[in-house]
Structure 1
Amino acid sequence: MTRTDQESRRERAASRVVGAAFGVSALGAAGFATVYATGGQTQLEGVSLAVAFAGLAAGLGVWARRLLPVGGHVEEHEPFDSPASERQLTDEALLGPESPARRSGLVAMLALALAALGGAALFPLRSLLPFDRERPVRALRTTPWAAGIRLVRADGTPVRPAEVVEGTLLTVFPEGHEDRGDVPAFAVRLDPARFAVPPPGGQVDGVVVHSLLCTHAGCPVALYIQETARMLCPCHQSNFDLLAAARPIAGPAARPLPGLPIAVDAEGFLVATGDFTAPPGPGFWSLK
């Protein structure tokens, strides 16, 4: 068998492989379309697409490697140095009497413009540095809750302990900061004899207060299950046991709901005695 015959056989074999690979790719694409059109199934769609792209890649690879001409090819390149005549013209343009470089006034104005642009560019950079603002990490760790701040409803009315009725949930805010996104809390009345772990913020006649923000993704944990004294987050079903310091017992949340230390002021209204016992909401930003 001559060399030409051998090359011809190899090319035919490579052509069959390429054709088979493209056929597999077409089948994978058809399978994806079929699964998608009949209701969809994530795993099958992924496998179908993987088969389609793998077949396409394999076919193109074999085609390029076995069927396209190969070999070394040399292309002549023009010399990198400019001809002497061009260099002379450049020198005359830059150093001649009409050269822009000899117009000192224009050069000075160009330098002034560039310096002004450079100075202006520093102002956006300054906004990234907290010269006159609270640092981001500290801002995330603290809230307006502080000693002496009254617990108020959304309409700004203060709350007395007796107004937290057993079996209900009362959303509260720090007085004067009702519009902050990290401050919402809830007050609920529980039987102190049922506490397996003391509330992190303490309690006043059975009234305990915790952050309303789920420690998984920051959704409001607004579903209260009275029989078991648990809070449920409707977003991802995290479940917190209020009788055990609001620790998570189900769902993706990994931290307890922060507690709010409370007391009663001279007028009989509930007030905070400090900030939350831990940063409210998701704590991914504090991971190291």
Structure 2
Amino acid sequence: MTDSQVVSGSETSHSGEVAESFQDPGIPAHVPRLGDSDPKAAKRSERIVVALFALSVIGTIGTLVAFFTLPDDTSIAGVRTQNVTLGLGLAFALLGIGLGAIHWAKTLMSDHEVVEDRHATASSPEVREIAIQHLKDGAKDSGIERRGVLKGAVVSALALFPLALAVPLIGEVGSDWNIGKFRHTIWRRGVRLATDPTGRLIKAADVTIGSAYHVIPYAEDIAEEVRPGTHSWIDEKSKAIVLMVRMDPRELTESEERKDWSHNGIVAYSKVCTHVGCPVALYERQTHHLLCPCHQSTFDMADGAKVVFGPAKRPLPQLPITVDDDGYLVAQSDFHEPVGPSFWERLK
């Protein structure tokens, strides 16, 4: 698109010199493509486009076949075979569509250049005078000029309204900036594990192999000021949520210092993802993998909740558990590290 077909007059450069007027060169002469004059070339381009879209179809079919047929417990160099195959299938599916569309546009669609002159966008003086007069007429019709109280009310409302936004923001300055609270939760030694959201106590004998429980601290075992119904409960619960699963103890890989953190194959980990804090709650029983639905970070519950896929960089913190004299599952202590994503004063 050009501003005009002919540029007349003169222009002033940055140095103050007056440049001579010049002729707009316009657009170059159209150069026909080989396919425009050779039917065989056009047919060849068409076949290439068809092949690229066919590649996309094959990629899509391959993705579906991999999803339904490949086992999800095999890996290549630590990466799940199914994940690799699904990624390659999706790549070819999208690449085929993209390249096919581009090749179609460049070789088969019309490529003739089009020029549209740019016209002045400013309204004429007459139109601007009419618009100003309409505004004056509107002000006169509203009676705001002769109604001082109305004028004062409007001005006052508009002047004071920003305070409704500014005051709460300013009020936050100097508020609680103690980030040390993120290092601890309401889990303590002896706090019993309860189901979320019913709050029912959990006996170790009732937890079967392969089962998963969403867990919170039992309300009667925590301080009254942070129990359900209080102002602080939601904040404290959001840090203390836990996913507990039971598996065959022989399937667990535990470090020496954590061998007593589980009970007969029952392990409990924070549900707060170490990437950006989303709740991880999608447990896959066959692989013991726990998936975060936000960005697909995947943690291996059988091996210290280590990251096996996705953007998370740290394992989920483990809650040390045991059983009390009545057979109920209880916490041995709080988490030994801060839960959730990193923050600026996190030691680890």
Following superposition, the deviation at residue 285 of structure 1 comes to: 3.9
Q: Distance in 2 between matches of 1:162 and 1:281?
A: 30
Cα distance, 1:200–1:181 mapped onto 2, change above 3 Å = farther
Following superposition, the deviation at residue 230 of structure 1 comes to: 1.1
Cα distance, 1:237–1:126 mapped onto 2, change above 3 Å = closer
Q: Which residue of 2 aligns with 1:184?
A: 241
Q: Which residue of 2 aligns with 1:274?
A: 333
Contact 1:200–1:259, Cα closer than 8 Å, also in 2: no
Cα distance, 1:168–1:126 mapped onto 2, change above 3 Å = closer
Q: Which residue of 2 aligns with 1:11?
A: 20
Deviations 1:58-88 (A, max 9, x none): xxxxxxxxxxxxxxxxxxxxxxxxxxxxxxx
CA RMSD of aligned residues (A): 3.5
Contact 2:263–2:321, Cα closer than 8 Å, also in 1: yes
Q: Distance in 1 between matches of 2:317 and 2:260?
A: 8
TM-score (norm 1): 0.54
Matched, 1:284 2:311: no
Following superposition, the deviation at residue 269 of structure 1 comes to: 0.8
Cα distance, 1:11–1:197 mapped onto 2, change above 3 Å = farther
Corresponding residue SS for 2:278: coil
Question: Structure 1: 5+ residue runs without aligned partners?
Answer: 21-39, 45-120
Deviations 1:177-234 (A, max 9, x none): 4642111101100222222334587111110000011111111111111111111111
Matched, 1:203 2:278: no
Matched, 1:233 2:292: yes
Q: Distance in 2 between matches of 1:201 and 1:246?
A: 16
Identity of aligned residues (%): 37
Q: Which residue of 1 aligns with 2:215?
A: 172
Q: Distance in 2 between matches of 1:286 and 1:249?
A: 26
Contact 1:201–1:260, Cα closer than 8 Å, also in 2: no
Q: Distance in 1 between matches of 2:287 and 2:183?
A: 30
Following superposition, the deviation at residue 12 of structure 1 comes to: 1.8
One-letter code aligned to 1:11: E
Q: Which residue of 2 aligns with 1:140?
A: 182
Q: Which residue of 2 aligns with 1:109?
A: none
Contact 1:168–1:188, Cα closer than 8 Å, also in 2: yes
TM-score (norm 2): 0.45
Q: Which residue of 1 aligns with 2:72?
A: none
One-letter code aligned to 1:225: E
Following superposition, the deviation at residue 164 of structure 1 comes to: 2.2
Matched, 1:149 2:191: yes
One-letter code aligned to 1:128: G
One-letter code aligned to 1:277: H
Following superposition, the deviation at residue 160 of structure 1 comes to: 0.8
Matched, 1:128 2:174: yes
Corresponding residue SS for 2:307: strand
Corresponding residue SS for 1:182: helix
Cα distance, 1:126–1:284 mapped onto 2, change above 3 Å = closer
Q: Distance in 2 between matches of 1:238 and 1:200?
A: 25
Following superposition, the deviation at residue 253 of structure 1 comes to: 0.5
Cα distance, 1:193–1:127 mapped onto 2, change above 3 Å = same
One-letter code aligned to 1:140: F
Corresponding residue SS for 2:19: helix
One-letter code aligned to 2:322: A
Following superposition, the deviation at residue 255 of structure 1 comes to: 0.8
Question: Structure 2: 5+ residue runs without aligned partners?
Answer: 1-9, 28-97, 103-166, 220-226, 229-233
Corresponding residue SS for 1:196: coil
Q: Which residue of 1 aligns with 2:41?
A: none
Cα distance, 1:266–1:127 mapped onto 2, change above 3 Å = farther
Contact 1:223–1:231, Cα closer than 8 Å, also in 2: yes
Q: Which has the larger radius of gyration?
A: 1
Following superposition, the deviation at residue 275 of structure 1 comes to: 0.7
Matched, 1:162 2:205: yes
Contact 1:164–1:187, Cα closer than 8 Å, also in 2: no
Corresponding residue SS for 1:157: coil
Corresponding residue SS for 1:138: helix
Match for 1:193 among 239, 250, 253?
250
